[in-house]
Amino acid sequence: MTSDMRLLITGGSGFIGTNFVQECLAQGITLLNFDWNPPLNPAHAPYWREADILDGPAMAQALADFKPTHIVHLAARTDTEEPIDMDAYRQNHEGTRVLLEAVKQCPSVRRMIVTSTQFVCEAGYQPKHDLDFKPFTVYGESKRRTEMITREAGLTCEWVIIRPTTIWGPWSLRYRDVLFKVMRKGLYFHPGRERVVRSYGYVGNVVWQIMRMLEAPSEHVHQQVLYVGDPPFDLKLWVEEVSKQLVGKPVRYIPSWLVRSLALIGDALKALRLPFPITSGRYRSMTSDYITPMDRTIAAVGEAPYSIAQGVTAMVHWYDDGSQRWKAGAKKDARMDSRVEKG
């Protein structure tokens, strides 16, 4: 990294953001985390500035004060729970609009990375070009709008749009509180043995990809849409590796029809706000192919360095080394806490 980089990160208190902030600090980068949530990692508190991305004056003032050379925009509501109300995801597209207006008034910014999602296209749909969208959730539509707002903003700095796949790794509260917890209790069963190809991504590889994009030659990244994550693989390889390292046993498999029946029970309990480890949404995620193209990303920044086994080792170490500690003192906020990411 160049020694004069001043990096503004929005959403640096979230899952990907926490890992990204840690890597930036390890590289000695001057940074500011702009987020309405306190950092998941308390050690990052000195680099955090509390603010709402929808607050235009606060955003403009933050940029004017900090004078960033680079921006990584991660802030978003990332769940897919809301089925109808687009305004529930206003912080995604309108928050991006507010940020971009502030960026246009900040001449120090040289390059910006804007985060979208693979969910701008539904599972099984392969986009023919960067403007070929087929979102299947309100969240996905909010990110389609995010991409279009970025394209139409008239930015004078260089910009890149990234589309994360399903990301996992240390600081993922979703995997900590669902998959890992269930596996440790001996309650995890995988539906069937059929091959299911998914686009997942170890967060360490995603952080590495973003870091490379910050300094890649302009012709490789400027105005590009690049997926971030790992090349698609058989989901069973990942589940088996997690089970081996977390509980020292192979995964247990049960017929898909039985898991589907349990998922329907989970849907009913969810409607009553009662926790259950499997719902129809999770069942579909475990049994449906979801393949995203990684070739352009690899061509632009190279092959990411970490294997599935290395990523699982890092996540299990984090899980066993006090991943629950932050919870007791975590700030409660009436607004949507976007740290609980759904992938």
Read out DSSP for 96-112? HHHHHHHHHT-TT--EE
pLDDT per residue over 159-172, tens digit each? 999 999 999 999 99
Banded pLDDT at 339 (limits 50, 70, 90): very low
Structural domain includes residue 60: yes
Residue length of the chain:
343
Closest C-alpha among 208, 294, 195 to residue 240: 195
Domain annotation covers residue 111: yes
What's the token pair of residue 93? 């597209």
In a domain, 310, yes or no: no
Decide: residue 256, CB within 10 A, 0-12 exposed, 13-18 middle, 19+ buried.
middle
- Does residue 95 surpass a pLDDT of 50? yes
Residue-level pLDDT at 275: 79
Q: For residues 302 and 211, give the distance between their C-alpha atoms in angstroms, rounded to a whole number.
A: 12
- The tens digit of pLDDT for each residue in 73-82 reads 999 999 888 8
Say whether pLDDT at 338 is over 70: no
Name the amino acid, one letter, at 248.
G
Q: Total domain count for the chain?
A: 1
pLDDT band at 1 (very low <50, low <70, confident <90, very high): low
Closest CA to 23 of 214, 271, 189, 198: 214
pTM, entire model: 0.91
Q: Which of 11, 27, 15 is nearest to 214 (CA)?
A: 27
Look at residue 324 and tell me if it is in a domain.
no
Name the residue with tokens 């987020």.
35
Average pLDDT value over all residues in the chain: 91
pLDDT at 299 over 70: yes
Query: How far is it, in rounded angstroms, from Cα 232 to Cα 100?
Result: 32
> What's the rounded mean pLDDT across residues 139-151?
98
Over residues 124-136, mean pLDDT = 93
Q: Which domain holds residue 133?
A: 6-164
- For residue 66, the domain's CATH number is 3.40.50.720
**Once rounded to an integer, what is the mean pLDDT over residues 103-125?**
95
Q: Cβ atoms within 10 A of the Cβ of 58, count? A: 17
Beta-carbon contacts of residue 309 (< 8 Å; ≥ 6 apart): 241, 245
Residue 66 domain-assigned (yes or no): yes
Integer Cα distance of 133 and 220 in angstroms: 23
Q: Does 279 reside within a domain?
A: no
Dist CA 243 CA 249 (whole Å)? 6
**Pairing status of strand 197-198 against strand 166-168:** unpaired
Residue 83 lies in a domain: yes
Residue 302 has pLDDT above 70, yes or no: yes
Which of 213, 206, 230 is CA-nearest to residue 16? 206
Confidence of residue 326 (pLDDT cuts 50, 70, 90): low
The Cα–Cα gap between 162 and 211 comes to 12
Q: Is residue 47 part of a domain?
A: yes
